[in-house]
Amino acid sequence: MTLKSIWVDYCKNGSIHGLRHIIQKDEKPWMRFIWVLLLIVSSIAIVVLVSASWEKYSYSSMEITVDDPHYPITKIDFPAVTICPISKIMYSKALNLVLNKYSNDSDLRTKWANSLQALSRIQFPHNTILHYFLQNKSTVNIPLNDISDLMLKLAPSIEDIFQKCIWRGAMYKCKDILRFQRTEEGFCYSFNSQTAERNENDNSQINPPLIGSDGVLIPLRNNAAGKGTGLSLIMSNMSDNFFPNDNRRRGFNVMVHTPDSFPDVASAYKVHAVHHRITRISVSVAQVEADDSLDRLDNTNSHCYLYKAKAEYLSSLLHKSSSEDTCFIKCRLRAIYNACNCTQYFFKLYKGLGSHCGIEHIPCLIANDILQRNPKVPEDVPGFPKWSIPFSMNCGCRPPCSFMAYTTELRYEVRQFVNNEPPSSRYDVYLEINYRELYATSYRRSMRYTTQDLLGRLLWAVLMAVASVTILVHLYASWKTFSYSSIQIVVDDPRFPLSKIDFPAVTICSINKILYSKAKRLVLSKYENEPELKKKYENSLYTMEFLQYPYYKELPSFVESNPVLTNFSLETISDLMLKLMPTVDEMFDRCYWRGTGFNCSEILRLQRTEEGFCYSFNSKTSERMANDSEFNPPIAKPNGKLIPLKNNVAGKMTGLELIMKSLITEYFPNDKRFKGYNIMIHTPEDFPDIASSYKVYSELNQSSRISVSVSHIRADESLHRLDEKERKCFFYETRTTTTKNFPSSRSNAEDNCYSECRLKSTYKMCNCTPYYFDMKVLQHNARASDEEFGFLKWNVQDFMNCSCPHPCSFVGYTTEIRNYAKDFLAYTKFPHAYTHIEVHYKERFAISYLRSMKYTTQDLLVTFGGMASLFLGCSLVSVVELIYVIYKSLIMLKHKYTKVQTLSKHEQQLILYRRQRKTHHFCKPLYIKPPGITLPEVCKKVKY
């Protein structure tokens, strides 16, 4: 065999198409030329494509896709909350420990006071202020080794700051759930922070985060959202403990951050002590999780780092987390040490070197204040001319590949009083931190171009044996991916038209649920001659009016101070409250939809809520009457289907406008609450969730404008192949409600499920239905899974077993409220005292997402066919041929190895002859045998 014959045989029988046409002897020359040309072009194309694939694989960037828009918050740590008093020194402690020692030397006393105030104002990023504070003031140098201990003794303690601490509706001792926290602002206190100080002699067994059996710190978690479901703090305003010449506003700096990160003071909220104010911080959560495909990148090629270590019980500062914020804090510490050879008093010494910064170091801190604010600019990036780049730090801090992000929203509300509060508490600071939604948004960060894509283009040239093994491995991997494929959410249309989405429902609740004039006319007037009985009925009506979720805890103080109450007939309570509530005409002056005025009674409906009787626009869960207006939204079709209104424009005065009448004179005389309304924006299918309502006050003389942004998530049909447990969401058509009971019959939404769960819990515990019950902590909390971390036994006292899944397809409305002066409205057109409320779309489009299987049946077939064709050059016809060949081979093997005795041709002729004659006696023939027939040997031996 020659070399030529080997290649000729390869060209005839090889799997590369076209080679056999080149060597055929009877092929025409021009046909051979065409085949040669095609092979050359194909080879060049393969080289180009493989080169491009390799380059794309080598430098492929990362992508982030939505993994789950309803990721359960039970799998996410509740954020850490750090509270820093604006005054870092208590004046009373400064007097007792320092200043009173120099009562006979006023000059030295003043110097010490100035020095202490200067040290307390050392904080990033406001060191420059020290220059103006120390102008024309004399100071004294405090021993550098004593500064940190002295400031620690003068700092307010937990007992000095915090009066009450409430977690998920249950009250705890503040020292049992708060820890000492070092920050760039000074000494503070934290809740649920892994970077807070831990002592060996911690007495509390519940102070979060707790140390697990393996040394891992476990922060607390939460599975409820809305008012009263998170952390609530009541803090003293500490007005009496500021230095006499300290004119700063009284209050605190509040930081909400991830438990494993160090608090970033640059993003702190200032919460001031204001008359009867409640500060509420609502938290939305997003989680980004890194895929395993990122492991193949080294640190130089990746734009993020994989942080897989867990925060453990470490005593050294700033080594409990590797987050980006903590990296910058370390960088600023290093920069200050290098520039000033000292460390701020609120941190431990940098690497144990130098000393703490004292009064003599303040000029250096001021000179390097700008340095601490600016990290080094990346090279060769446009937009950074040399003149715009200040003196900066070389930090090299990269973001993590996996992280949690807490987006916060600050709201102010006026504290409502059922009874008169003592004057001393009017300026206390009321702070509440809670989740805004019952779910988080989960994202997945992965390589845009993975190893599997590259192998699909390169392994075509592998030998047959290797190709066969490879295809089996890949087919198994594809089948495994198909069997356990997760759900992906991709942006379907970033400019989805608003005309295809229902306008949100708007529910308006008056803060007073009873008009005092009606109460006097229908109830109290009957007892004018009996003052004591009249007082009983008045107190009882006021108590009934104030029964609303989640504020039942305010009632005991009123009942305690007003024990004179009477019981109403349980059968008539609902009808009585309906008669005493404000009607549409008594509550609304004018209503506008898309700029056109309507009679308010024609576009608003009675709405039952967990706050009481209210009115709704465009809500499917509102009450429907037989005499409803024909255009009162949502419109009922002959088949019973409710069609909400839609809108296709955005901006001011393009949605719903309401002119509300003033009901200030209709409150009970002993009602100390601020007057106004609660506004709830929700999907038309949803029941109003009062835990996420906006308060609009009549006395502030403002116009309230609520802007709405819309997101739409649509479920693909590919999700039907998964059961509800695997896809972690439900389809509306599989959960049709057969009951007509209030309120869940008109919707299957998640919020409705929790509302119904609270109703069932109320009935189970109190044997009554809303809104006349007292649920205490129970209604705030839903049951958490026993498998989840962060839910300790002391964490939740009582809970509801709700089991509320979320829908696969839904519409989400994100709202933003702004208040303006009413001077743009014509005052002569409306009543003298009125409230203007406007709800409109913020953008002219929505964002549409598609939720689908990451790997469908079609993808599986395409993968199987593509890999089979790529590695083995076979198709569906090849599979049929292979089956035929295997079947034929099995038949042959069966005949070969199965022993069956067969007759010869001669014996077959003899048997046929006997059957035709049917005359034979054993082996002796009765007739002359035909010629050519030879008898068997046994017959020849027989004698006739």
pLDDT category at 174 given cuts 50, 70, 90 is very high
Q: Judge whether 468 and 462 are in contact, CB under 8 Å.
A: no
Residues 6 or more apart whose Cβ sits within 8 Å of residue 86: 248, 249, 250, 251, 252, 253, 270
Whether residue 80 is found in the same domain as residue 125: yes
Whether residue 282 is found in the same domain as residue 135: yes
Of 453 and 347, more confident: 347
Whether residue 461 is found in the same domain as residue 547: no
pLDDT at residue 778, as a whole number: 42
pLDDT at residue 541, as a whole number: 86
pLDDT at residue 451, as a whole number: 54
pLDDT at residue 734, as a whole number: 63
Least confident of 132-146, 349-363, 477-491: 477-491
Token pair recorded at residue 41: 């072009």
Least confident of 131-135, 299-303, 331-335: 299-303
Q: What is the mean predicted confidence (pLDDT) over 808-822?
A: 84
pLDDT category at 741 given cuts 50, 70, 90 is very low
Whether residue 125 is found in the same domain as residue 268: yes
Inform me whether the pLDDT recorded for 96 exceeds 90: yes
Inform me whether the pLDDT recorded for 826 exceeds 80: no
Helices (H), 617-691: none
pLDDT category at 317 given cuts 50, 70, 90 is very low
Convert the pLDDT of each residue in 450-463 to its tens digit.
555 445 444 544 45
pLDDT at residue 916, as a whole number: 65
pLDDT category at 738 given cuts 50, 70, 90 is very low
* Domain end (from 23, 39, 59): 59
- Give whichever of 303-312, 318-327, 618-627 has the largest mean pLDDT: 618-627
Inform me whether the pLDDT recorded for 6 exceeds 80: no
Element at 642 (helix H, strand E): strand 642-643
On whether the pTM is more than 0.85, the answer is no
Q: Judge whether 779 and 761 are in contact, CB under 8 Å.
A: yes
The whole-chain average pLDDT of the chain stands at: 78
Q: What is the mean predicted confidence (pLDDT) over 92-113?
A: 92
Inform me whether the pLDDT recorded for 700 exceeds 50: yes
Beta carbons within 10 angstroms of residue 299's beta carbon:
9
Inform me whether the pLDDT recorded for 844 exceeds 80: yes
Identify the sign of the CA torsion 466, 467, 469, 470. positive
Inside any domain, residue 765 = no
Inform me whether the pLDDT recorded for 319 exceeds 50: no
Inside any domain, residue 545 = yes
Inform me whether the pLDDT recorded for 187 exceeds 70: yes
Whether residue 236 is found in the same domain as residue 153: yes
Whether residue 428 is found in the same domain as residue 561: no
- Judging by DSSP bridges, how do beta strands 179-183 and 342-343 pair with one another? unpaired
User: Above pLDDT 70, what percent of the chain?
Assistant: 72
Beta carbons within 10 angstroms of residue 793's beta carbon:
7
Token pair recorded at residue 118: 């200067």
Q: What is the DSSP letter of 141?
A: P
Least confident of 118-122, 301-305, 346-350, 668-672: 301-305
Q: What is the mean predicted confidence (pLDDT) over 442-452?
A: 70
Of 739 and 536, more confident: 536
Helices (H), 769-875: 857-872
- Report the distance separating Cα 257 and Cα 404, nearest Å: 9
pLDDT at residue 307, as a whole number: 63
Whether residue 125 is found in the same domain as residue 211: yes
Virtual torsion, Cα 413, 414, 416, 421, nearest 10 deg: 130
pLDDT at residue 310, as a whole number: 41
Least confident of 239-253, 266-280, 335-349, 864-878: 864-878
Inform me whether the pLDDT recorded for 777 exceeds 70: no
pLDDT at residue 832, as a whole number: 61
Residues 6 or more apart whose Cβ sits within 8 Å of residue 429: 233, 234, 235, 236, 237, 251, 252, 271, 272, 273, 279
- Give whichever of 158-172, 207-221, 303-317 has the largest mean pLDDT: 158-172
Whether residue 47 is found in the same domain as residue 132: no
User: Hunting for tokens 């014959």 — which residue is that?
Assistant: 5
Of 332 and 926, more confident: 332
Whether residue 49 is found in the same domain as residue 147: no
User: Hunting for tokens 């409502």 — which residue is that?
Assistant: 416
Q: Which of 849, 846, 850 is nearest to 502 (CA)?
A: 846
- Judging by DSSP bridges, how do beta strands 162-167 and 429-435 pair with one another? unpaired
Of 2 and 121, more confident: 121
Inform me whether the pLDDT recorded for 824 exceeds 70: no
- Report the distance separating Cα 430 and Cα 435, nearest Å: 17
Whether residue 147 is found in the same domain as residue 285: yes
pLDDT at residue 803, as a whole number: 75
pLDDT category at 757 given cuts 50, 70, 90 is confident
Which amino acid is residue 467, in one-letter code? A
pLDDT at residue 116, as a whole number: 94
Inside any domain, residue 25 = yes
Inside any domain, residue 263 = yes
Q: What is the mean predicted confidence (pLDDT) over 542-571?
A: 74
Total count of domains within the chain: 5
Inside any domain, residue 393 = no
- Judging by DSSP bridges, how do beta strands 702-715 and 810-821 pair with one another? antiparallel
- Report the distance separating Cα 664 and Cα 674, nearest Å: 9
| CA-angle at 699, arms to 693 and 704, nearest 5° | 45
Q: What is the mean predicted confidence (pLDDT) over 158-179?
A: 92
Inside any domain, residue 881 = yes
pLDDT at residue 758, as a whole number: 80
pLDDT at residue 639, as a whole number: 80
User: Above pLDDT 90, what percent of the chain?
Assistant: 23
pLDDT category at 887 given cuts 50, 70, 90 is confident
User: Hunting for tokens 């300290």 — which residue is that?
Assistant: 246
Inside any domain, residue 705 = no
Q: Which domain holds residue 36?
A: 3-59
* Domain end (from 559, 580, 601): 580
Where residue 88 sits, what CATH number does that domain have? Answer: 2.60.470.10
pLDDT at residue 344, as a whole number: 92
- Report the distance separating Cα 333 and Cα 327, nearest Å: 10
Convert the pLDDT of each residue in 8-39 to its tens digit.
776 776 666 666 667 777 777 777 787 788 77
Q: What is the mean predicted confidence (pLDDT) over 125-143?
A: 87
Element at 702 (helix H, strand E): strand 702-715
Whether residue 426 is found in the same domain as residue 537: no
Inform me whether the pLDDT recorded for 483 exceeds 90: no
Inside any domain, residue 183 = yes
pLDDT category at 255 given cuts 50, 70, 90 is very high
Of 640 and 712, more confident: 712
Whether residue 88 is found in the same domain as residue 204: yes
